[in-house]
Every structure is written in structure tokens, then in C-alpha cells.
Homo-oligomer: A and B are copies of this chain.
């Protein structure tokens, strides 16, 4: 659907969300019938029940939940709506699974413009349709002005994973190759570029994207992939440190092999930020046996979301579980977790 067609079909051209939209009464029923049910149209979501009843294909069930509180709600490359679909689809996919269904829970601040809500809901619906996941049940709450911040969205994702596929943060082994699916830092820098108080502008847009197609190619090529994780909040450094701790291993990265767009690198240098701490919303990190690495890399590069994939390092034995980076000048530095808060409300 084009942007023009969307605006022609717009239900709300004015008006704001009122407390009564969360009352359980008539106004809430109208919001559900006029906005949510048509946007998310699917056979399961009728608006008439408080739950969805689903048939699942064989396999183990995978479930993941995330609340999205990104600020600003609209940013270069997306808005909270597609972010809330992609982020949860990706968390399900990182189990090596096929995402099938999403739930959607909205917490809306009184006074939030209805046309903005509709724009978010339609973006969400398009992202879900593109990812071929059904939004099957939902919930709407309204809080008083000053008790929220526009809209928060929780999505919970359901999928199934085939037997024999079991990536886990505990399965990194010394000798494993570490791969990343593409340039890092785009989402965080896109958000920063919009934040009030920061005056730099770049042409960087968020990488927000659903990665389950990429994951499907990866597990088809290398069913025994050891780890899969999307480096969102806390960036690559948080994910690598979590896996290092969970697997009781160390990691050695080479800076020169790390894909980063020049504009992102420039923005990070300007602001004194470490790109390894910056959030991504359309990238993944994978670890696999060294013998499988080229096959995994080849499979990743056949997918549009993995075209710029790279091998960035190796898992090593290390009782202290350090993640270290060999810099482009030949030195070595420890890649630590951020202890404090660098970029609040990035997702």
C-alpha cells in the first residue's frame, strides 16, 4: 500500500486519545473496531474475544516479549510500530525459529493524537504483513497526561523451532567463528540524530528490519549454529559479554573486520561514543564451529539483510571471560559492558 493510499484511507484526521478510550466501554470498542481490527485484519483477530485460539505446526514453541518505549516515536527509517514488530520477530527468530504470531499491548497517554496512533498502527500492520506474522490479540490502556509518554507498545511473539536447532548463549566454544550480519550502529545513530538537544544530522536511517528470513537461510545451511543474538540495547558489546559469561569463554575481535558505515563512525567519533555500545535493530551476531564459518557466511550473504555479513573474530579460552578487540593500529583493548546508561530509550 502506498503512502498516498494510506492517507486516503485514514480513519482519524483529527482528535486525541481520551481516558474513555481505555475504559472498556463503547469508545474503546469503537477504537478497536475502527482502527485495530481493520489494520491487523486476520482470521483470528475478531475484536470479539479476549484471547486468540491458534493451531501450531509441529516443533517446539518459542516465545519472547518486549516492551518498546523508544523516544522519539518517529525516527529516520521507522517508528515505534515497525520497531515493535521487528524487535520481537527477531527475538523469536534468534532461537532459530519461524515467527508466526504476535500479540500487541498499547499503553497510550491521554491527549495523544489519533492520527499519530493510526500512523503507528498502520506501520505495525504493514511490518507484520511483510514478515508474514499475524497480530492475533491485543490490549489498549490509557493513562493520564503526564503519566506516560505518547505510546508504549508491548509485543509478544510466538514461533516454532525444529528439533535439532538450538542456538543458545551457553553454546559458544573456543575456536568458534564470530559473525555479524552487516554494519553496526545505524539504529542508535538514527535515534540520536533526532533527539532534541543534539544538533548533528546524518543521512543514517535505522536498520529496523525483520531477520527471520536471514535466520532461515542460516539454519538451513548450518543447523548446528551455536549462538544467534540480535545486538539491540547495549550494542554488540553487551551481547558478546553476555554470551562470553554464559558460555564461560573469551572473545577476540579484529576492529578492521568490523563493518561500520563511515557516517556512523563519524557520528560516534564526534560524540565520543563507542560504536560497539550502539543499538542495532536489524542485525544479528552468530557463532559457529570454525569448519562451518564459510558456509554460514555464504548463506548469510545470499539474504538482503546479510549482504554485508562478515567474520569479525574468534571465541577463545579465557577463564575471565573477557571480550577483547585488536584495534586497527595493532593494539588490544577490552570491550566492556556499559555500566551506566549511554542512550536511554533506544528501543
Contact = CB atoms under 8 A, between A and B. Distances in A.
A139 B66 contact: yes
Contacts of A55: 60-61
Interface in A218-249: 229-230, 232-235, 238, 242, 246
A36 interface: no
A81 interface: no
A66 B216 CA distance: 31
Given A23-B344, A28-B233, A148-B149, 4 more contacts: A25-B341, A51-B92, A63-B136, A154-B154
A143 B339 contact: no
Interface in A1-43: 18-20, 22-29
Interface of A: 18-20, 22-29, 48-56, 60-69, 91-92, 94-95, 97, 101, 103-107, 136-139, 141-144, 146-149, 152, 154, 156-158, 161, 166, 168-170, 229-230, 232-235, 238, 242, 246, 279, 337-342, 344-345
Number of copies: 2
A341 B19 contact: yes
A158 to B, nearest CB: 7
B67 A144 contact: no
3 closest cross-chain pairs (CB), A and B:
A24-B233, A24-B234, A51-B64
B63 A105 contact: no
A51 B216 CA distance: 17
Given A51-B64, A158-B63, A340 B20 contact: yes
